[in-house]
Amino acid sequence: MEIASFIFRMILALLFISSSVSKIKNSTTHASMVKDYKILPERSIRFFAALDTYSELLIGLLLIFGLYYSWAALAGSGLLLLYSVAIVVNLLRGRREISCGCGGIVGNHNLSWVLVSRNVLLIAMCLWVYQLQTTYGNLSWALETGNFRTVYGEEYWTLMIIALLSTLVILIGQHLGSIRKKVQELVAQK
């Protein structure tokens, strides 16, 4: 259970950090994507886009370094819930042709119930991490106990590689699904 919690934590950290870096690099585009949701008043769009971006960065960094990571996971689940509500509102309005604005390694996709399902899975992972403490990569625990060898030993690096490979497998699966959909569209055009 502790190993799964650590792997989930690293996957979430990579997702949040990559998404925030993508949004920082494309801040104007991200703000326009937030505007496309037509939920927020015009005057608060830039503020929310910046808050969203830097919250993701902070959450990702806390998760990856193991500083207050259970609270970061809880905040991450709240952010994902907020995104899910915004997506559902637009899906119920029949607005599927706008970009989710996710960015990063998960990319940008048109709104769909698949995105909502993915977010529910990520929320479950966040809540798992929140509930189940782990010493692997837990900088807070290492600083308290002075036991850096246990926290960042061989097992830590092995699990980190597993987390990276797991993230890679998730991304490959996601991109294969996109490729399959494009191929089906091309075949249907002929």
The per-residue pLDDT for range 8-37, each reduced to its tens digit, is 998 899 899 999 999 999 999 999 999 999
Domain with 124, as residue range(s), is 2-189
Is the pLDDT reported for residue 59 higher than 90?
Answer: yes
Cβ atoms of 111 and 87 closer than 8 Å: yes
Average pLDDT across the chain, whole number? 88
Write down the pTM of the prediction.
0.81
CA 41/CA 30 separation, integer angstroms:
16
Q: Which residue has tokens 């590689």?
A: 161
> What is the total count of domains within the chain?
1
The per-residue pLDDT for range 137-157, each reduced to its tens digit, is 788 878 888 878 777 778 888
CA 86/CA 39 separation, integer angstroms:
7
Which pLDDT score is estimated for 48? 94
Residue 41: both structure tokens together: 């008043």
